[in-house]
Structures are given as structure tokens and as C-alpha cells.
């Protein structure tokens, strides 16, 4: 293989490696976003589980995030207000809301697992390309080839 052929192959490998790394970075950002959603849904599910054992009118401490709690009085333990998207909120039976949150959690976890597998595949691909690049550069530096 001529030096020019090696140079062209090196450029191709480098472009492929950069693309794999770029895609892996984009997937990593998406995974982090999914993890934030998972945490939010887990927190919501935790609150739903806590209120199912409470009676209307009962005082309780509500975690509002960041380890901050407010005193609250539960007006209705049977129904909750739930956002369904685009700022639209509906009143829903607490058990239905709990089932819906559990379903959403399951879907998010499945998606996160799928993206994590894709991420690992891209990282492995980028590493393999990087190894090929190093080998080709070493060949190009050898005199007489």
C-alpha cells in the first residue's frame, strides 16, 4: 500500500472514529437526561406510596427536592392532579396515577438500558478505530514502506 493510500485510509478511519465519538457523546447526554426523568418519576412514585397510607386531613412533610421539606395537609388521598404534557393537568385516581408512573418508569428504564448498550457499542467501535489509526500511523513512520 502506498503512502498516499495509507494517508487516505488514515483520514477515513479518523473520520469514522470522530463520528463514533460524536454519536457516543450525544447518546451519553440523552442517557443523562433519561436518568433525570427516572429520578423525577421515582420521587413521584415515592410520594404516591406515602400518601396511600394517609387519610384526608392528615398533616405530613412533603419533600420538594434538594432535601427541603414543607408541612402539608393532605386534602384528598384518593385523587391526584397529574400533568399529561404541554402543561395540561388532569385529576386522576391515585392508584391509576401510581400504575401510570410505574409503567412510565419501566419504559424509561428499558429505553435507558437500550441507549446504554448502544453507547457501549459506539465506545468499543471508537476504541477499535483508534487502535487501527495508531497501527496505521506506526506503519507510515517505518522507513521503506
pLDDT of residue 143: 73
**Secondary structure (DSSP) of 58-78:** -EEEEEEETTEEEEEE-S-SS
Task: Look up the domain containing 98 and give its range.
Answer: 3-52+94-141
Q: Report residue 64 as a C-alpha cell.
A: 420538594
In a domain, 74, yes or no: no
Q: How far apart are the first and last CA of the chain?
A: 8
In a domain, 114, yes or no: yes
In a domain, 79, yes or no: no
In a domain, 104, yes or no: yes
Q: Report residue 38 as a C-alpha cell.
A: 427516572
The rounded distance, in Å, linking the Cα atoms of 23 and 19 is 6
82-104 pLDDT, tens digit each: 998 899 999 999 999 999 999 99
Closest CA to 72 of 60, 54, 80: 60
pTM, two decimals, is: 0.79
Residue 129, class by beta-carbon neighbours within 10 Å (0-12 exposed, 13-18 middle, 19+ buried)?
A: buried
The rounded distance, in Å, linking the Cα atoms of 73 and 63 is 13
Q: Report residue 92 as a C-alpha cell.
A: 386522576
In a domain, 108, yes or no: yes
Q: What is the CATH number of the domain that holds 133?
A: 1.10.287
Q: Domain count for the chain, please give it.
A: 1
In a domain, 135, yes or no: yes
The one-character DSSP state at 54 is -
Per the listing, cell 447526554 goes with 29
62-86 pLDDT, tens digit each: 888 788 999 999 998 899 999 988 9
6-52 pLDDT, tens digit each: 899 999 999 999 999 999 999 999 999 999 999 999 988 998 998 88
Amino acid at each position: 500500500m502506498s503512502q498516499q493510500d495509507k494517508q487516505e485510509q488514515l483520514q477515513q478511519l479518523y473520520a469514522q472514529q470522530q463520528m463514533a465519538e460524536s454519536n457516543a457523546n450525544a447518546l451519553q447526554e440523552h442517557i443523562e437526561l433519561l436518568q433525570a426523568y427516572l429520578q423525577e418519576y421515582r420521587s413521584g412514585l415515592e410520594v404516591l406510596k406515602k400518601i396511600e397510607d394517609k387519610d384526608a386531613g392528615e398533616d405530613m412533610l412533603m419533600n420538594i427536592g434538594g432535601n427541603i421539606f414543607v408541612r402539608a395537609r393532605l386534602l384528598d388521598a384518593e385523587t391526584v392532579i397529574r400533568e399529561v404534557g404541554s402543561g395540561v393537568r388532569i385529576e386522576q385516581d391515585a392508584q391509576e396515577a401510581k400504575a401510570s408512573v410505574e409503567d412510565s418508569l419501566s419504559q424509561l428504564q428499558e429505553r435507558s438500558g437500550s441507549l446504554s448498550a448502544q453507547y457501549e457499542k459506539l465506545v468499543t467501535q471508537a476504541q477499535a478505530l483508534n487502535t487501527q489509526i495508531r497501527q496505521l500511523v506506526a506503519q507510515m513512520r517505518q522507513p521503506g514502506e
